[in-house]
Amino acid sequence: MTGIKDVAERAGLSVATVSRALSGKGNVSPTSREKARSAAAELGFVVSYHASSLASGRTHNVGLVVPSVHRWFYSAVIEGASAALLEAGYDLTLYNIGENPAHRHSVFTDFLLRKRVDAVIAVSLELSEAELQQLHAMHRPIVGIGGPLPGASTIRIDDTGIARKATNHLLGLGHTKIAHITGHDAYDQDFQLPGTRRGGFEKAMNDAGCPVRPEWIVSADFTIEGAYAAARQLLASSPERPTAVFAASDEMAIGTILAARDFGLRIPDDLSVMGIDGHDLGNVLGLTTIDQDAKGQGALAVRTLLGAITNGLVLEPADTEHPTTLVVRTSTAVPRAGTT
Amino acid sequence: MTGIKDVAERAGLSVATVSRALSGKGNVSPTSREKARSAAAELGFVVSYHASSLASGRTHNVGLVVPSVHRWFYSAVIEGASAALLEAGYDLTLYNIGENPAHRHSVFTDFLLRKRVDAVIAVSLELSEAELQQLHAMHRPIVGIGGPLPGASTIRIDDTGIARKATNHLLGLGHTKIAHITGHDAYDQDFQLPGTRRGGFEKAMNDAGCPVRPEWIVSADFTIEGAYAAARQLLASSPERPTAVFAASDEMAIGTILAARDFGLRIPDDLSVMGIDGHDLGNVLGLTTIDQDAKGQGALAVRTLLGAITNGLVLEPADTEHPTTLVVRTSTAVPRAGTT
DNA sequence: CTCGCGTCTGGAAGCGCTTGCAGCGGCGTT
DNA sequence: AACGCCGCTGCAAGCGCTTCCAGACGCGAG
C-alpha cells in the first residue's frame, strides 16, 4: 500500500508539505502543490482517514441513525444525505436501530462512542433521557430530522400547518365528511407527530365549521399495510361513509386507496384521498399530497453539519423549517353530487 | 475523553495488558482481565477503532455498496446486513451509488480505497473491468449479492429455476395464456438477471407445450412505476388478453396489479399475477410470489465476511445458492371458465 | 537444587498521518 | 545597509491504540 511517504519521496518533498498540499491547509507554493498532487495521482494514493483522523481529530465520517430502512421517509433521507456526503468526500456510517432493543442500546452505548464520526444525523428518534445524554456526550454536532431533539439542531416541517393545508384542500373542494388516518400515539419512534398532524386537521375542520367525528379518526402505524387494515375498518364499519380521507402520510394514503378499491370505491369519484410526503408511488397512483422533500431534508442536514464541522465542531441549536408544496393529482376531486 | 491509558491507571495495570484483556487476544490472568473490564466499564471506555485499526489493521467496519436505497431488494439486504453487523460489533459504511456517474466513480476510486473497511458487500452491481480491479486492489474479502462478481464470493438465487417454478405454478393452475414482465436488458446494474428469469419462463412454457407470444413479453425497469406503465400497455394493446402475468419482481407484479385494476380487471378472477421477491406489500395485496429472503442474504453475506476476516482476510471465491420458497396467496387462481 | 518451560506482564516501537515549531530565504521599509 | 516580516519548508512530536520482545515468576521434572 502506498503511503504519504512514497508520495513525498516521488515528489521530492517532505511528508509535511505533501500533507499540507493534499489537504489544502497551510501554505504551500503552487509548484510544490502541483508536484504533490501529480505524484499522488500517479501512485493512486488516497489518504487513510484512520490515520488522518487519529492525528487531526477529523474522521470525515458522519453517522446516520434511523429507526428503519424500509419506510419511505427514511430511505429518502438516507438517499439525500448519502449523495451530499459523497459529494463532500465524507463517509456515511449507517446505524439502523431496528426493532431489537439490544441493538438500539448498543448503538448508543458503544457504536456512537467509538469516536468514529464527526457528526450525527438522527432521524425521527424519540430518545430516552439516557440516550440523549450519550448522544451529547460525544461532543459532536447533531442534527435531528423529523422530530424534536432537545439540545440539537433540528430540521422539521410545519406539521400542524401542512395538516391544515391538506384539510383545507379537501374542504375547498367541497368535502365536509372527511376522515383522518393518524399514526399510533406510540411514544417510541414517532413522537407527537401523529398528534400535531391530527391537531392541524381538527383545527381546519373546526375553523370551517365542520364536525370532527371521532369514529372517523382511526390510527395505524405509518405503513401501507397498517393503514390498509385501518382503512378497511373505517370504510366497512361506518354506517355513513366519509367522502374524503386525509391520511397523515403517503404510505397510509396508499393503504387507504388499496382498501377503497377493495370496497369498489372509485377514486376520486366515490372517495377523495390525500396524504403527506411526496412518495415515489404518488405519481402512479395519482395521489394528491403535500411534498415534504425528504431527500432535501437529508441533504440540508448534511450541509448544516459540514458547516459546523469546519466551524470547529460547534453547532448552535436551531430549528429550521423545511418548505413543503401541495401537489394536486387525481386522487382528490369535488365530491359527487348527493354525497355531501 | 477517556483512553486506554486511563483504564490502565485505574486498573493498576499496564496499557498493554489492558489492551490484551479487552480484546481477548493473548494471555491475561483472570484477575487482571476482570480488573481491566470493570475499570473500563466504570469509565465508560470504548476503544477507538481508528487508533485500533491503525495499529492492528482491522477496521471493524464493512462497506456496503448498493445501486440505490429505495428498491425493496436493496433495503432488505441493508437491513439484514446491518443487523448482523451490529450484532458482531461492526460498523456499516453505506455507499449508495445512485444515478450520478461521478458519485459512482468516486466510490471506487476514492472511498473504497481509504483502507477504511475490512470487507465489502456489493449488491447487484454490474462492474466495469476497471471497477472490478479497484475492488480487488483493496485486498479485502468481497461478497457479491444478486449478481455475478468475478473473483469474489457470491450469494445468489437460482434465477432460472425460480422463474420456471413460478411459471409452472401458473401452468399448474391451468393457465396457458401467460404474459411475462421482464427487466430491461440494461447492462448497467441488473445483469443478465432479466434474461435468466425470462429464460426460465420460456423454458417452462416450452416444456408445457405453450406458445410464448412475443407481444406478451414486455420489459420495464424493476420499479412499480415502470411496470405499471408497461402493464397498462400490455393490457390495453393486446387484441386478446393473457389470463396470467408473471412479473420478474414483486415490485413489477404490484405495478401490474395496479394497472389491472385500472382496466377493471379483478384479481385473480380476470387475471392472475405473480412475482418474485417476498416484498412486504405482498401480504396486503395477496400477492403470490417466490420469497427469496433478501434479509437472509444480507445476513449470510456478513457471516461469510466475518468468517473471512477472522481467517486472515482470505476468502475463497465460492458461489452460494440461497433457498427460495413459493408463497401462494390470493393473486393467482384457476383461470375463469371460457377464458382458456 | 537446578533447569526448562509456560504463563503473565510491562516497556517500547510503531501504525500513517497532522501540525506546532523553527529555520530559511526573499522582499519591502526605514 | 540593516531590519523585520512573511511565505514556504522540514523536523519531530504526537494522536490512541496493538503487539513484539524480553523479563519475572511459578512450577514440575531431572
What is the residue extent of each domain of chain B? 4-47, 61-157+294-322, 159-292
Q: Where are the beta strands (DSSP E) in chain B?
A: 61-66, 91-96, 119-123, 142-145, 153-156, 178-183, 217-220, 244-247, 272-277, 288-291, 319-321, 325-327
User: A166 in contact with B at a CB cutoff of 8 Å?
Assistant: no
Topology match between the domains B61-157+294-322 and B159-292: yes
Backbone angles phi, psi at B260, to 5 degrees: -60, -40
Q: Which residues contact B101 (CB under 8 A, 6 or more apart)?
A: none
- Residue B32 CA to nucleotide D30 C1', Å? 33
Q: Per-residue pLDDT tens for A181-222? A: 999 875 445 567 778 899 999 999 999 999 999 999 999 999
Task: Report residue A226's pLDDT band, with 50, 70 and 90 as the boundaries.
Answer: very high
- What's the CATH code, domain A61-157+294-322? 3.40.50.2300
pLDDT attached to residue B238: 65
User: Is pLDDT above 70 for A87?
Assistant: yes
Q: Per-residue pLDDT tens for B253-289? A: 999 999 998 898 999 999 999 999 999 999 989 999 9
Backbone angles phi, psi at B295, to 5 degrees: -55, -45
Cα B71 from Cα A235, distance rounded (Å): 31
Class of domain B159-292: alpha beta
Q: Where are the beta strands (DSSP E) in B184-241?
A: 217-220
Which among B91, B95, B116 is the nearest to A49, CB-wise? B116
Cα A18 from Cα A12, distance rounded (Å): 10
| Cβ pair B258:A284 closer than 8 A | yes
Protein-covered nucleotides of chain C (CB closer than 7 Å) are 7-12, 14-20
Contact, A29 CB vs strand C, < 7 Å: no
Task: Give percent above pLDDT 70 in chain B.
Answer: 97
User: Is pLDDT above 60 for B187?
Assistant: no
Q: With contact defined as beta carbons under 8 Å apart, do B303 and B83 qualify?
A: no
Cα B117 from Cα B298, distance rounded (Å): 17
| Cβ pair B284:A75 closer than 8 A | no
| Cβ pair B225:A280 closer than 8 A | yes
Cα B164 from Cα B160, distance rounded (Å): 6
- Residue A39 CA to nucleotide D9 C1', Å? 18
User: B199 in contact with A at a CB cutoff of 8 Å?
Assistant: no
Q: Per-residue pLDDT tens for A37-67? A: 999 999 999 999 999 999 999 999 999 999 9
Which among A87, A110, A224 is the nearest to B284, CB-wise? A224
pLDDT attached to residue B191: 60
Most B CBs within 10 Å, among A114, A266, A267, to test the B interface: A114
User: Is pLDDT above 70 for B201?
Assistant: yes
CATH of A159-291, one of 3.40.50.720, 3.30.300.30, 3.40.640.10, 3.40.50.2300: 3.40.50.2300
Contact, B281 CB vs strand C, < 7 Å: no
Most B CBs within 10 Å, among A56, A68, A90, A94, to test the B interface: A94
Render the burial of A165-188: b for 16+ CB within 10 Å, e for the rest.
Answer: bbbbbbbebebbbbbbbbbeeeee
Nucleotide closest in space to B58 (CA vs C1'):
D18
Contact, A309 CB vs strand C, < 7 Å: no
Protein-covered nucleotides of chain D (CB closer than 7 Å) are 7-12, 14-20
- Residue B16 CA to nucleotide D22 C1', Å? 14
Backbone angles phi, psi at B122, to 5 degrees: -115, 125
Q: Which residues contact A211 (CB under 8 A, 6 or more apart)?
A: A205
Amino acid found at A235: L
Q: Kindly list the residues from chain B whose CB atom is less than 8 angstroms away from the CB atom of residue A59.
A: 50
User: A110 in contact with B at a CB cutoff of 8 Å?
Assistant: yes
Query: Mean pLDDT, to the nearest integer, of B94-119?
Result: 91
Q: Per-residue pLDDT tens for A248-300? A: 999 999 999 999 988 989 999 999 999 999 999 999 899 999 999 999 999 99
Q: Kindly list the residues from chain B whose CB atom is less than 8 angstroms away from the CB atom of residue A79.
A: 68-70, 96, 98
CA–chain centroid gap for B137, Å, is 23
Nucleotide closest in space to B55 (CA vs C1'):
C15
pLDDT attached to residue B37: 96
Nucleotide closest in space to A5 (CA vs C1'):
C16
Task: Report residue B85's pLDDT band, with 50, 70 and 90 as the boundaries.
Answer: very high
| Cβ pair A86:B103 closer than 8 A | yes
Task: Give percent above pLDDT 90 in chain B.
Answer: 80
Q: Per-residue pLDDT tens for B114-172? A: 878 999 999 998 888 899 988 888 889 999 999 889 999 999 999 999 999 999 999 99
pLDDT attached to residue A5: 96
Report the predicted TM-score, pTM, of the whole model to 2 decimal places: 0.93
Angle A193-207/A159-173 helices, nearest 10 degrees? 40
Q: Containing H/E element for A144? A: strand A142-145
- Residue B234 CA to nucleotide C5 C1', Å? 81
Q: Per-residue pLDDT tens for B51-64? A: 999 999 999 999 99
| Cβ pair B70:A79 closer than 8 A | yes
